[in-house]
Amino acid sequence: MSLDNKAPVAPAPSDFIRDIVAQHVAGKKYPQIHTRFPPEPNGYLHIGHAKSICLNFGIAHEFGGICNLRMDDTNPTKEDVEYVDSITEDVNWLLSGWADRNLGLKPKGKTPETIAEEGKRDFYLEAVVPLQTPDAKSQTLEAFYASDYFDQLYDYAEQLVEKGKAYVCDLTPEETDEYRRNAKESPYRSRPVAENLDLFQRMKKGEFPDGKRSLRAKIQVDSPNVWLRDPLLYRIRHADHHHTGGKWCIYPMYDFAHCLSDYIEGITHSICTLEFEVHRPLYDWILESLNLPRPLPHQYEFARLSLGYTVMSKRKLMQLVNEKLVSGWNDPRMPTISGIRRRGVTPEALRAFAYNIGITKYNGITDVAVLEHAIREDLNKRALRRLAVLHPIKVVLTNYPEGKTEELDAINNPENPDAGTRKIPFSRELYIEQDDFKEVPPPKFFRLKPGGEVRLKYAYIIKCDEVVKDASGKIVELRCTADLDSKSGGATAARKVKGTIHWVSAAHAIDAECRLYDRLFTEAEPEKDGRDFKSVLNPHSLEVVTAKCEPSLKDARPEVRYQFERLAYFALDKDSSLAPNASRLIFNRTITLRDTWAKEAQKH
């Protein structure tokens, strides 16, 4: 009997970027396709990054290429090692068993080599692909870092100054913004090359305070594209860096570091989200202005993911964390990859979602129901079925012998015959869900009611004879009789009743904390019309209950997914204590079996 939670691999998708890559492969334009995934380590990755990971690593995987993991760490005041570690963990999790064979890393501490290419000095840092490199295990590998290229980037900047294509500007940051906005030329634009070189070198030595000077590209101050209006290449920032320490007090801007990092790593296809489309002329200008000897990378853009009932801004996600509106970056309600993983979503489900929504050039909001459908599809195939009661009410079978226990057969997964069956105990006293009984039932209520019958899954048909209440009028117990011939194989087993409910044996039930997570926001567009996104936080996004569970769940494993029958899919939380004699089971609800939000929407 196999209990492995396996599900089929999603088929490779097709889109306009993959079509371009396929043409390049067919035309043998490049020796090998080389992409990269370059997040800034200033927060945790979210589901929008998952789309980018699946695209960049997916292309490398499908076309036999490499995708580098690079930390785009050029801003020392916002980046942290915590974020580097979380990014690395998230990427490895999403790639595991899929595109991990295409992951490009580098030897720890290694920086670009100076090489001669076509008689010119050049910089290059080759990727190591751990699962394709025989001696990779003997090396300590790490992600690429843009900060490992600071020496080379400074060298490139000096080359632009020497060519008269960059100058040191003394305008303040506010003045620079104003001049660029109004297409106005800086009074320092005509500085001689020698003076620019001297000032830039003194900037590097730390002679000037923050904001005193900057290095700007000399392109076209009145360009229709504002990004070409003499953009900043370097700024002064006296701040320690998480990777380089206190070595530098000037830092390259993203647009300058991005294209040259791609070049240093030998990237062929630099795939960005659509807001960088207007940056592409600057990307090309920098590379072309340096007369670089090796083939240049090319940038391609696609629409970023916007998901309903979610915010994607790192700044807003950080606000939720800092204001303790969630428990942390990995709170299962967060759209972060670590939160989604903790909630119990599998990498296969996330990849299927990324494939299903496709890659386009048009921005739009993706219905969160598409993600939820992908999660349900995946978990339905892999989740082991178990019985658990979240809001228990006791049932006593008055005609069932006291002290008797039966072992009944229950199916582990009807979608997977290889998952086999298990034994579950049955006894005189049971727990059922409170919602499965109504003293005054509405029309078409086919579960338990006074004088009504219902089948207990895998067990008997029972009839409710008496409702027991406490002094306050609260129902505390249902006294029922069982048709003892209605179990599978019995004389009345074929007798039809309209309702089937789940249960657990009271004497054998184990307690578990169940965290019932729901959507974090009550509105599909939390920021619509400029409103404060926190004003539509869902007050019912988390309910914590103590559930009564079948005893086999004491052996629950974090890597296995479970369906609590008729309720939802669950995963064991990392806060669980599984040590002998100290067991504390905590299950996170990954998703309900049905879309309850759609049902609510139909009422309005």
Give tens-digit pLDDT for 302-335: 999 999 999 999 999 999 999 999 999 999 999 9
Measured between its terminal Cα atoms, the distance across the chain in Å is 47
Topology of the domain covering 18-141+259-374? Rossmann fold (3.40.50)
DSSP three-state, residue 320: helix
pLDDT at 472: 94
Distances (CA, A) of 58 to 13, 261, 335: 9, 21, 21
b/e string for 565-602 if b means 16 or more Cβ within 10 A? bebbbbbbbeebeeeeeeeebbbbbbbbeeeebeeeee
Mean pLDDT in residue range 182-190: 97
Dihedral of CA atoms 556, 558, 561, 566 in degrees, nearest 10, equals 50
**Does this chain's domain 388-502 share its CATH topology with 511-603?**
yes
Indicate the CATH number of 152-252 among 3.90.800.10, 3.30.1330.10, 1.10.15.40, 3.30.70.3270: 3.90.800.10
pTM higher than the cut 0.85:
yes
Closest to 336 measured CA to CA, from 528, 89, 586, 80:
89
**Which residues are paired to 66 by β-bridges?**
34
pLDDT-based confidence at residue 579 (cuts at 50, 70, 90): low
Tokens 């790192």 locate to 314
Tokens 């490992």 locate to 148
pLDDT at 119: 86
Mean pLDDT in residue range 19-38: 97
- How many Å apart are CA 281 and CA 219, to the nearest integer? 11
Quote the percentage of the chain above a pLDDT of 70: 96
pLDDT-based confidence at residue 291 (cuts at 50, 70, 90): very high
How do residues 380-417 score in pLDDT, each as one tens digit? 999 999 999 999 999 999 999 999 999 999 999 999 99
Mean pLDDT in residue range 342-355: 96
The architecture CATH gives domain 388-502: Beta Barrel (2.40)
- How many Å apart are CA 335 and CA 337, to the nearest integer? 6
Domain ranges of the chain: 18-141+259-374, 152-252, 388-502, 511-603
The architecture CATH gives domain 511-603: Beta Barrel (2.40)
Give me the active site residues, please. 40, 304, 314
Mean pLDDT in residue range 492-505: 92
Q: Examine the pLDDT at 5 and tell me if it is beyond 80.
A: no
pLDDT at 492: 84
Q: Examine the pLDDT at 58 and tell me if it is beyond 50.
A: yes
b/e string for 453-467 if b means 16 or more Cβ within 10 A? bbbbbbbbbbbbeee
Average pLDDT, the chain: 93
pLDDT at 53: 97
